[in-house]
Amino acid sequence: MEQILKATQLSKYFYQKKALDKVDLSIEKGKIYGILGPNGGGKSTFLKIAAGLLKPSQGEITIDNEKPGTYTKSIVSYLPEINYLYKWMKIKDAVNFFKDLYADFNAEKARESLKFMELEEEEKVTTLSKGMMGRLKLTLALSRKSKVYLLDEPLNGIDPISREKIITSILDSYSEEASILISSHLIYYIEKLLDYVFFLSEGRIILSGDAEELRNKRGMSIDKLFQEVF
Amino acid sequence: MMEFNNSIPIYLQIIDSIKQDIVVGKLKAGQKMPSVRELAETLKVNPNTMQRAYQELDREKITFTKRGMGTYLTEEEKTISSLKEEISQKIILDFVEGMNKLGFSNKEMINTLKEYL
């Protein structure tokens, strides 16, 4: 299988604190991965490095054989946890903003997805509920035709209806040509989506494996396994 | 909507549920199955998991794939009737194992079952 993302002994320190400690991780084409762990375990830091927003302190990461930079940003779609949209924007402005920013952004797909997500283009982003904002951010991230999707906590603080819609859109966006890496501590809701999981704690990968094999070997759900490990 | 028990591999549960649907006639012999993608979205599971379930069903000759046309259920009556056998055997096995754990002898088991029926 073709590897699209590869981290080797990747470390990140913030002053004395080790956010990532010699992480080895690789991702193949056409699979959905979960990077799971408690808050502060290093999930977001890993995604930010892969997205090219943070520099590693040590070790290396490559995406499509290149270090994070202009090229990798053109093939990686990153959904950050924070709100990054300007306050003055309406939903349609956010769509246009993405269209201007990314050559691979499919505005047609975005409009269809907005309908599915029950979002009105004329609505201002400041008036959106947390669930609606989550749906909008996901629509924007998944409307790019990327090789790698990095989704940081797409379900955090999201109501059940939005959750369902978000899961459906992730599945809808799945392609054999792309890989999806989802970080989450809400494992129960996403474990059925995952091919492979990495458990990250205190900056280290303490367990990883094929989701179905782990269920088979351990006789428990990934969620339960997670609770056991932590 | 299918409810999964996440402590058992999901592809096995999908296979079991499809077999069950065949036995009770919810799925008809020879009928076309939904595509991997469609079913993955309906069941909200990973498409590779779905693919694995279909591959296994193909291997067991419960389904067959027509190139470029999709997946179809077998028309073999024999396969379908043996499925019924297979599922009932499994239920019996689960029952007997469970009763054994509770300390029932075979005779007691039969008596309890008779009483219940």
Contacts 24+ apart (CB under 8 A), B67-74: B70/B32, B70/B33, B70/B35, B71/B32, B71/B33, B71/B35, B72/B30, B72/B31, B72/B32, B72/B33, B73/B22, B73/B27, B73/B28, B73/B29, B73/B30, B73/B31, B73/B32, B73/B33, B74/B29, B74/B30
pLDDT at A7: 97
Instruction: Give the domain range for residue B59.
Output: 1-75
Residues in chain A with CB shorter than 8 Å from the CB of B45 are 192-193
**Among A209, A141, A182, A178, residue whose Cα is nearest residue A4:** A178
Instruction: Give the domain range for residue A173.
Output: 3-85+146-229
pLDDT at B3: 81
User: What percentage of chain B exceeds 70 in pLDDT?
Assistant: 99
Residues B84 and B66 in one domain: no
Q: Residue A168: which CATH number?
A: 3.40.50.300
Residues B31 and B63 in one domain: yes
Number of separate domains in chain B: 2
Distance CA B107, CA B114 (A): 11
B41 shares contact with chain A (CB less than 8 Å): yes
pLDDT at B66: 87
Q: Is the pLDDT of residue B2 over 90?
A: no
Q: Residue B46: which CATH number?
A: 1.10.10.10
Residues B13 and B32 in one domain: yes
- Phi, psi angles (nearest 5°) of residue B85: -55, -50
Query: Per-residue pLDDT tens for B70-109?
Result: 999 998 888 888 888 988 998 999 999 999 999 999 999 9
Contact: A194, B46; criterion CB under 8 Å: yes
Contact: B48, A219; criterion CB under 8 Å: no
Residues B64 and B16 in one domain: yes
Residues B82 and B70 in one domain: no
Residue A213 lies in a domain: yes
B2 shares contact with chain A (CB less than 8 Å): no
Q: What is the pTM of this model?
A: 0.88
For residue A171, give the nearest of B8, B9, B41 by CB distance: B41
Residues B65 and B99 in one domain: no
Tens place of pLDDT per residue across chain A (230 aa) = 689 999 999 999 998 889 999 999 999 999 999 999 988 899 999 999 999 999 999 999 999 999 999 999 999 999 999 888 999 999 999 999 999 999 999 999 999 999 999 999 999 999 999 999 999 999 999 999 999 999 999 998 899 999 999 999 999 999 999 999 999 988 999 999 999 999 999 999 999 999 999 999 999 999 999 988 88
Confidence of residue B1 (pLDDT cuts 50, 70, 90): low
Residues B42 and B53 in one domain: yes
Coil, helix or strand at residue A195: coil
Number of separate domains in chain A: 1
Distance from CA of A172 to the nearest CA of B (A): 7
Residues B65 and B21 in one domain: yes
